[in-house]
Amino acid sequence: MLQDIQEPTDFSDGLEASWRQWNATALHEGEEAWVRIRGLEAHFEHKSLWSTVLIFTIAWMVIFESILVACVGFGWWDFKEYAWLVPTLMIQFLAQIVGLGILVVKSLFKDMA
């Protein structure tokens, strides 16, 4: 009887093999889940960084355009010889602000699948 306990049987070998298979599968699935979680954390960290950069970029553009308009409006800067310059700059900055807004909406704030 003691000999039956000490020597593995075909049944116990099969159980051990199936346990090892299940354990390897569970470990692999756990590692995949961990990698996905770390990837999502990194994704949201980068999203936060880029959101901050874009907010400061848009704020700088709005402030610069406001200063430009104020200086021309108060007569401190005179662009009579270059009448096309101020409207062109204003349209350019407006287009860039709208473009950055579209970039933010489409790229940074889309759902993660």
pLDDT at site 113: 47
- What global pTM score does this model have? 0.54
Whether residue 3 lies inside any domain: the answer is: no
Whether residue 65 lies inside any domain: the answer is: yes
How many independent structural domains does the chain possess? 1
Whether residue 113 lies inside any domain: the answer is: no
Q: Where are the alpha helices (DSSP H) in the chain?
A: 2-6, 10-73, 85-103
Q: Which residues of the chain have pLDDT under 70?
A: 1-15, 17, 19, 23-24, 26-27, 109, 111-113
Whether residue 100 lies inside any domain: the answer is: yes
For 43, the domain range is 10-108
30-51 CB burial, b ≥16 within 10 A, e <16: eeeeeeeeeeeeeeeeeeeeee
